[in-house]
Amino acid sequence: MVILHTRSRRKPTSGLYRTHRKKKSYEVGREFTKTTIGEKKVRVVRGLGGNTKIALRQDTKVNVISKGKSKVETVSKVVENKANLQFIRSGIVTKGAVVETKAGKVKITSRPGQDGVLNGVVVE
């Protein structure tokens, strides 16, 4: 079934709006990519105009920025995720999630399902 970013077909009174046009290709969406910790896997997604996005499915490495320096660290587990408490138990990484590394706790600043990479900053 297609996911569309359009107005709901239902009125607040539970009636139906009249359809005035067909579905448009620029309204098509997709379910978000549940990025987890594991061996690196990516998925290439086609966008409008033939443009591509890289959706990160799994990864164990995170680019950590600390004191103006950048280094690559290995992720051990998801510690905190304010987007959804179930994501902590499932180990799903989203923007704003806090993961545990050898450098300490790292907050993810990139959007892994859109950017295809894990970037983060050290949280004290």
pLDDT at residue number 86: 96
Please check whether residue 95 lies inside any domain of the structure.
yes
CATH number of domain containing 104? 3.10.290.70
Contact 27, 8 (CB under 8 A): no
Residue range of the domain that includes 114:
35-123
Residue 90 lies in a domain: yes
- Let me know if residue 83 belongs to a domain: yes
For residue 24, tell me if it sits in a domain: no
Q: Where are the beta strands (DSSP E) in the chain?
A: 35-37, 41-46, 52-59, 61-66, 69-74, 77-80, 92-93, 98-101, 104-108, 119-123
Average pLDDT over all residues of the chain: 94
Residue 3, in any domain of the structure: no
Q: Which residues of the chain have pLDDT under 50?
A: none
**What pLDDT is attached to residue 2?**
84
The answer to pTM > 0.85 is no
Give how many domains the chain has, as a whole number: 1
